[in-house]
Chains A and B, each alone.
Chain A
């Protein structure tokens, strides 16, 4: 949690220094959600989220270097600088994005879970072993795609947990201004037969405990669930948000209930950590983030040839592309499947 917070603080500075471009949404305040949820499941359980994704990436095991360099648009980034802040992908750690269109990740999340279940049961002839975590904001609750995803998940017994990170605002719109039944969000999941839970997202232990129990239920029963994860983002929706839609008093009230401070106090009270070891850890975290900034500064810009890679997959001929106004790019692609040894046509 300290790593995420420190990372986001330095990320904000880098944005102000114009090292990071485009849209950038920081996770400060909500750290307990990503950390508690990822710790509550197994590394092989897929995770997918929306555009406020740095916290999930770090919690899932992406290095601060890869995450920061991605935002710097450098080759050392997790997607070689092709995705950016909103599109963090980490296949080895089973993080399937980082998706920029509100709610669009929810059918995809159902698909990840459909696939793990299909692999376990249809291909391998066993029993479902995995559960997918699909994060979304409370703003995404009003997207049609989410309702289709919940319906399909309920219908096909898909083991996916839709975790609504309910921070009370979709951009600048307070939840009760945009969402019906906002006092009881779980009714949205209930309508599709999803198991439901309301969890205090500002309490790491509550998130971990409740999510672990829910995830194991979903795994064992191969059923979907809906979580109203109550939380709060301390900063604006994105870097350009002056937060005029809420009061400073409201922000202070939530900041006084900070999840990191609370968990730290609990650990100190139980003698798990000491003031010294916390300081030591903070020092390490600051060093790690400082290192990620240095790495990102030093990591090279992507070569222009990178513009044309990763458009299509082999083995059908690597796409080399072209910026020429051609329909299929350069000559290499126009005749991508044609023999180059002078023999035309097929075998």
Chain B
């Protein structure tokens, strides 16, 4: 484990010097994929509209021009087929990146991505691994309706053998994607359509962010807000509002939920004696519920209140913009949860 940390490529983006360079989330992912494809010919990208169309969400824009059609591969609308094909290729030693236009579409590929990719190594007694990255948009994209708004981490985090990465900002997206591509295990990389246009500072130099390393986005003393992915940004907004009310929140961005950096959360909760978990998936059998249970276990004597949880409401995702906003774990709900958890309601 120390050997991993002593690897010089692992570093926080904030530790890199250089001028401020603001790029979009989608550009950060593209940079990571392109850099890794230049570095390793075994890496290739396939999915619907990734090549000639330049990506349905322009994440792979320009990559066909650089790498050609043998490595940037348009597939038919055939998720079960091309996900399974990529898994076979990974078992042979290639390192595919599979783009699901939306993780919602991965449900028709559930058998290969859950039954083959994460179990290959185990069932073969360690003979065959599956170094593959599945990536795409996860969660509500903005009035897409119920079938296109899945938060698949609620389903997939139940399965052993997968690593699940859910970045919240461009710099992390780049560093975590590079790690995902070099990882020897199947990685589910969950982006958000609503964040692809978000801009942030991404340093020029090379860096990889190891999995299982949470980032403390905001230090605070009254309440720990633990989250991942897009809702981290809502937590930061909520923390600013709550600060004006005299509630000082510590915001922890888990970055990966498998592996899960529990020690960073526990350390924070032992300081604040209060925790709110914010998870975009539905509450029942969710990663947020799991994290809350772990906090209860490890901080039982430190908590001043039970761990509060903010999730998407337990209903199919509505179409109406107003209803969808209310359904998601929004800033208002987070503020209410923190006030309740800190007895300021």
In-complex Cβ contact of A122 among B8, B71, B75, B88 (8 A): B71
Q: Is B336 an interface residue (CB 8 A)?
A: no
Q: Which of A48, A309, A315 contacts B88 (CB 8 A)?
A: A48
Instruction: Give the one of B80, B86, B161 with max A CB within 10 A.
Output: B80
Cα of A141 to Cα of B290 in the assembled complex, Å: 41
- Contact yes or no, B85 A149, CB < 8 A: yes
Does any Cβ of B come within 8 Å of A89's Cβ?
A: yes
Answer yes or no: A42 CB below 8 A from chain B CBs. Answer: no
Q: When each residue 85-99 of chain A gets 1 if its CB lies under 8 Å from chain B and 0 otherwise, what string results? A: 001011100001111
Closest to A96 in B: B91
Total A residues in contact with B, Cβ cutoff 8 Å: 68
CB distance from B156 to the nearest CB of A (A): 13
- Check A336 for interface membership: any CB of B closer than 8 A: yes
Give A15 to B160 CA distance when docked, in angstroms. Answer: 30
User: Which A residues lie within 8 Å of B291 (CB)?
Assistant: 327
The answer to whether B128 touches A326 (Cβ under 8 A) is no
Nearest Cβ in chain A — how far from B279, in angstroms? 12
Q: Which of B2, B85, B185 contacts A312 (CB 8 A)?
A: B185
Enumerate B172-203 residues with CB–CB distance to A below 8 Å.
183-185
Q: Which of A81, A113, A328 has the most CB of B within 10 A?
A: A328
Q: Mark A44-85, 1 if CB is under 8 A from B, else 0.
A: 001010000000000000000000000000000111111100
Closest chain B residue to A107, Cβ basis: B84
Interface centre among A46, A121, A149, A309 (most CB of B within 10 A): A149
The chain B residue with its CB closest to the CB of A84 is: B123
**Would B259 and A334 count as touching, CB distance under 8 A?**
yes
Please, which residues of chain A bring their CB within 8 A of the CB of B163? 312
CB distance from B293 to the nearest CB of A (A): 8
CB contacts (< 8 Å) of B257 on chain A: these are 327
- Name the interface residues of B99-127: CB closer than 8 Å to any CB of A: 111-112, 115-116, 120-127
Interface residues of A in 294-347 (CB under 8 A from B): 309-317, 326-328, 333-341, 345-347
**CA separation between A83 and B163, bound complex, in Å?**
22
A115-B92 in contact (CB<8A): yes
Considering only CB atoms, which chain B residue lies closest to A144 in the complex? B80
A321 nearest in chain B by CB position: B160
The contact string, 1 if C-beta is below 8 Å from chain A, for chain B 47-82, is 000000000000000000000001101011010111
Question: Does chain A have a CB within 8 A of B17?
Answer: no
> 27 A-B Cβ contacts within 8 A?
A48-B88, A80-B126, A82-B123, A83-B125, A89-B123, A96-B92, A104-B84, A104-B112, A107-B112, A110-B84, A111-B85, A111-B89, A123-B42, A310-B124, A313-B185, A316-B4, A316-B211, A317-B1, A327-B258, A327-B260, A327-B291, A327-B294, A328-B262, A337-B210, A337-B212, A346-B213, A347-B5
Query: Interface on B for A, CB 8 Å cutoff?
Result: 1-6, 8, 10-12, 15, 41-42, 44, 70-71, 73, 75-76, 78, 80-94, 111-112, 115-116, 120-129, 131, 160-161, 163, 183-185, 210-213, 257-263, 287, 290-291, 294
The 9 closest A-B pairs by CB, nearest first: A111-B88, A107-B84, A148-B81, A79-B125, A115-B92, A89-B124, A108-B88, A313-B184, A115-B89
